[in-house]
Chains A and B, each alone.
Chain A
Amino acid sequence: MRTRLHALVATVALGIGGTAVAQGSTMDEIAKYREMLADGNPAELLEMKGEALWKKPRGPRSASLEQCDMGLGPGKLEGAYAQLPRYFADTKKVMDAESRLVHCMMTLQGFSETEATKNWFSKPGQDSDIEALITYIGGQSNGAKINVPARHPEEARMAKVGEYIFYRRSGPQDFSCAICHGQEGKRIRLQDLGKLTSQAGAGAAMSTWPSYRVSQGAVWTMQRRLIDCMRQARWPEPSYLADSIIALEVFLQKTASGTVMQTPGIKR
């Protein structure tokens, strides 16, 4: 009996050692997998589609989006995504890339908000113009540094609101963003969880969206990512372009500021 128990203890100890080794190499293998994927990122196809949509006259006014001001002046897209969200004097609101794009679709092209946001994400057999346009706009900031200092009082207020939401525990599981994303070196199943309260952690996360998700076969925008985080935390799902989501984006972009964008990204 005693010998058997000893043997069992030895097996358990070995088992733990084995898992630790396997974990390290699994992470390496995942990194290799990502590297292979990056060479043929299907998001580039969507980027091309988004560029065509940006330049094409559409909507009731048959206008293109080329005069859209994403914060750096009409039609200036290079580096624009990296400095969003920001305060816009014309709408008196802090807007992210997606809410600003929808604003342009409404003011320049004459779409109603319902029409513009009807297919804000794609499903099998149903394309999303917003997804394509945001992939293109995001790609135009590839190599730019994230720069959201949130100095304007409205931006500073949104950053505060975002920080509050990040730490606020609520919902049926009494869950907050910080439970998964407030510590170093945590993971869920095989996914590393970024510590989004540090510049490195927030930078790694924010610099790679919009991102092609291999598991979904689609590009996800930041709005979709965050709304789905809420769903996973069993919170009520915010509606598309909700201020709560934009506030979280301001908080995360402010923390990530200084990180170089690598867009469009590719993820599991």
Chain B
Amino acid sequence: MADPMKIRASAKEGVTEVKVLMSHEMETGQRKDSSGNLVPAHFITEVTAEHNGKQVLAAQFGTAISKNPYLAFKFKGGAKGDKLAVSWVDSKGDKRSDEVLIG
């Protein structure tokens, strides 16, 4: 199973800033290993964020994004103690969801 994400979310003057660090290899499928074989592609394809169950961000990721991706974004609304959930799905169908309370 995939390793947990690190999520920080803080609300200030009606705007919530979210910083997410995802743990993922993000293999492009173009790299070769030491014996010359292609390393199969394996990367995050979709990322979504929900504030109290309501979607505030949907993103499509691809091979141009680095290993262990870092994503920061802001959305209007959100208050201390609200739930913020981030989920991703990758090219092999692996999933990971993590949740934090907005600070």
A residues near B (Cβ < 8 Å) are: 39-42, 44-45, 48-49, 124-125, 217
Contacts and interface: CB of A to CB of B under 8 A. Distances in A.
A48 B4 contact: yes
A44 B21 contact: yes
A40 B19 CA distance: 8
Given A39-B19, A40-B19, A40-B21, A48 B72 contact: no
Contacts of A40: 19, 21, 70, 72
Q: Binding site of B, secondary structure by majority: helix, strand, loop or mixed?
A: loop
6 contacts: A41-B21, A45-B6, A45-B23, A49-B3, A217-B67, A217-B68
A266 to B, nearest CB: 11
A45 B25 CA distance: 13
Contacts of A49: 3, 23
Contacts, number: 33
A42 B70 CA distance: 8
Given A39-B70, A40-B70, A217-B67, A45 B19 contact: no
B6 A44 contact: yes
Interface string B61-85: 0000001101010000000000000
A45 B23 CA distance: 7
A41 B8 CA distance: 13
A143 B72 CA distance: 25
A125 B19 CA distance: 26
A45 B3 contact: yes
Contacts of B23: 42, 45, 49
Contacts of A124: 25, 33, 39
A45 B68 contact: yes
Interface residues of B, number: 14
Nearest to A52: B4
A268 to B, nearest CB: 14
A124 B24 CA distance: 12
Contacts of B39: 124
Nearest to A47: B6
Contacts of A42: 21, 23, 67-68, 70
Contacts of B6: 44-45, 48
A214 to B, nearest CB: 9
Contacts of A44: 6, 21
Closest 4 CB pairs of A and B: A40-B70, A42-B68, A45-B23, A40-B21
Contacts of A39: 19, 70, 72
Given A40-B21, A124-B25, 20 more contacts: A39-B19, A39-B70, A40-B19, A40-B70, A41-B21, A42-B21, A42-B23, A44-B6, A44-B21, A45-B3, A45-B4, A45-B6, A45-B21, A45-B23, A45-B68, A48-B3, A48-B4, A49-B3, A49-B23, A124-B33
A73 B3 CA distance: 30
A47 to B, nearest CB: 9
